Amino acid sequence: MGKIDIFDTTLRDGEQSAGINLNTAEKVEIARQLERFGVAVIEAGFPASSHGDFEAVKQIAQTVKNSTVTGLARAVQSDILTSFEALKYGEQPHLHTFIATSPIHMEYKLKKTPDQVVEIAVESVKLAKKYFPLVQWSAEDATRSNKEFLARIITEVIKAGATTINIPDTVGYATPSEYGALFHYLRETVPGIEKVKLSAHCHDDLGLAVANSLAAIENGATQIEGTINGIGERAGNAALEEIAVALKIRGDYYQTESGIVLKETKRTSQLVSQLTGVIIQPNKAVVGKNAFAHESGIHQDGMLKNPETYEIITPAMIGEVSTELVLGKHSGRHAFISRAKQMGFELTNENYAKAFVAFKDLADRKKEITEEDLFVLLTDQQVQAEDVPVYVLESVQVQYGTSNIPTATARVTSPTGEVVTVSDTGAGSVEAIFNTLEKVVSGTVRVLDYRVTSVSKGRDALGEAVVKLCFDDRDTIGRNASQDVLEASAKAYLNAINRQLQQTLVATV
């Protein structure tokens, strides 16, 4: 069996998805889960892009020990040196640097000749090798590059010290046969390529990212890059959970193993979905809620006789275990903390206490507490940012009637400690709440997106509200879960505002 390293870029390429805005605590929590998931390399961010990204990469490098932590850098000296300051705390410092190699990118974006691009690539790798034992070099837009030029520049960066060569399908242009053939050509043409890792990075613009990644494996790739749930710019990246399960289920064909802990698949997917606010489509392969649902009578009959008739992946394989009632209102603190640890949470004593209070409050109002409920409560405590002055919703009241104008009244404590009570109307209850809260907030707010989804099943299920805002010309996202979806909506709105204030505060420190 061969070995395929899994390179996760959820925190870099995935976070570049429109509307995703993770804070440092959330990024660290996702990185810890990726480590449990068994990924070989975690691309934690782009350190030179912002102070927030620098701090997140630095903290992840200090926290993660069983996965290699890397960061992205342009072929620019300042990017490389800044990245080293963030990544030098890692167990094995690793840098990912890149430059575009396609004719259209070199002419219109870089405004460089091919010879100049080769020179820049070589010098950047040489500089990186002075600081990093592991240097990955990427040919941006490789699949639209001249393959002879690609072979030439790869030859030179290997001589300069690159330890991994990445061949990205940056715009999702290639077909599986073309992409596989490119890997085959490079393996046959580039001297010394057998001494480095050969990596595939595919985008899903034509819906071929996973297929292209698997084609790369068939043609000698030893590392696959992607994101959890396939999130990423435009149509997203290759979904790593699909690749990992495909390598397991079709091990007879691919003859490789990834080192991924498959039982952590569901939890990893669920965490990324909750913290990014990107919902998983029901029919999503492997992790969609319908992935193991069988409605057709013929399918149900077959499943009853032998599950293997229609189910090639078992729920247990990916950690999808149904637990209807895990705890109740009579459960004590010890049982609650024990269950939290079984679910993989490691909270401070203070956050355990806060989560337990929230659990008991929910248990008084909800007959059955499901694992999904606990996951939301515990995750919210796990990613709490450091205490800073924020807006706090003290109460919200909505007057509504089909023949009346919806009116909301909110009592809010501002970051300065002032308690204000304001009211406003709207076309509906939610708009009335948002219009009311906009009066409280100091700044210009525009709602970009809003949705409420059920966390668990039943009429008493938690409803999770996600609000995307533009606050003072910067996009931010907030979320909250409650049995009262109007309360959740109000708190999600303020959560989005508070997250932006916290990030602004961190950036100025």
Encode pLDDT of 70-81 as tens digits.
999 999 999 999
Q: Tens of pLDDT along 233-245?
A: 999 999 999 999 9
Rg over alpha carbons for the chain, rounded to the nearest Å, is 25
Alpha carbons 196 and 157: distance in angstroms, whole number? 11
Identify which has the larger pLDDT, 258 or 354: 258
Q: In terms of C-beta density within 10 A (0-12 exposed, 13-18 middle, 19 or more buried), how is residue 312 classed? A: exposed
Check residue 297 and give its pLDDT: 52
C-alpha 256/C-alpha 181 separation (Å) is: 19
Angstrom distance (rounded) from CA 493 to CA 441: 10
Confidence of residue 371 (pLDDT cuts 50, 70, 90): confident
pLDDT tens figures, 162-178:
999 999 999 999 999 99
φ, ψ dihedrals at 128, nearest 5°: -60, -40
Query: Would strands 445-454 and 419-425 be described as parallel, antiparallel, or unpaired?
Result: unpaired
Say what the pLDDT of residue 310 is. 61
Q: Which helix (H) or strand (E) holds 98?
A: strand 94-100
Euclidean distance between CA atoms 99 and 102, whole angstroms = 10
Q: What are the C-alpha distances in Å from 387 to residues 29, 384, 390, 501?
A: 18, 8, 9, 12
Of the listed ranges 136-140, 239-243, 285-289, the least confidently predicted one is: 285-289
Query: Which H or E run contains 337?
Result: helix 333-342
Q: What is the pLDDT of residues 420-479, one digit of tens each?
A: 999 999 999 999 999 999 999 988 999 999 999 988 777 888 899 999 999 988 888 999
- Asked whether the predicted pLDDT for residue 298 surpasses 60, the reply is no
Given this model, what pLDDT does residue 305 score? 58
Least confident range from 222-226, 237-241, 253-257, 341-345: namely: 341-345
The mean pLDDT value of the chain amounts to: 91
Q: Quote the CA–CA distance of 226 and 325 in Å, as a whole number.
A: 35
Confidence of residue 296 (pLDDT cuts 50, 70, 90): very low
pLDDT at 420: 95
Residue 331, strand partner residues: none
Is the alpha carbon torsion for 266, 272, 275, 281 positive or negative?
negative
- Span 79-90, mean pLDDT? 97
pLDDT (average), residues 223-234: 97
Among 91, 50, 44, CA closest to 71: 44
Mean pLDDT of 276-283: 91
* Residue-wise pLDDT tens digits, 15-38: 988 778 899 999 999 999 999 999
Of residues 443 and 159, which shows the higher confidence score? 159
The whole-number average pLDDT for the span 91-109 is 97
- Token code pair at residue 21: 């805005």
| Per-residue confidence (pLDDT) for residue 14, from 0 to 100 | 95
Distance, in Å, from the CA atom of 195 to the CA atom of 57, rounded to the nearest integer, reads 28
In 386-473, beta strands by DSSP E: 392-399, 407-413, 419-425, 445-454, 463-471
- Rounded to the nearest angstrom, the gap between the alpha carbon of residue 313 and the centroid of all alpha carbons in its chain is 23
Alpha-carbon distance values, 7 to 2, 183, 205 (Å): 16, 18, 20
User: Which residue, 212, 228, 209, 173, is CA-closest to 17?
Assistant: 228
**pLDDT of 213 over the 50 cut:** yes
Tokens, residue 485: 């979806």
Average pLDDT rounded to a whole number, residues 221-229: 98
Phi, psi angle pair for 474, to nearest 5°:
-130, 135
Of 467, 273, 288, nearest to 379 by C-alpha is: 273
Instruction: Please name the helix (run of DSSP H) or strand (run of DSSP E) that holds residue 43, with its range, or none.
Output: strand 41-43
pLDDT at 98: 98
Does residue 325 surpass a pLDDT of 90?
no
For residues 367-392, give the mean pLDDT.
78
Q: How far apart are the first and last CA of the chain?
A: 50
Render pLDDT for 490-509 as a digit per residue (tens, 0 to 9): 999 999 999 888 777 655 55
Q: With beta carbons less than 8 A apart as the criterion, state whether 139 and 153 touch.
A: yes
Instruction: Give the integer Cα–Cα distance in Å for 264 and 240.
Output: 12
Can you give the pLDDT at residue 386? Answer: 57
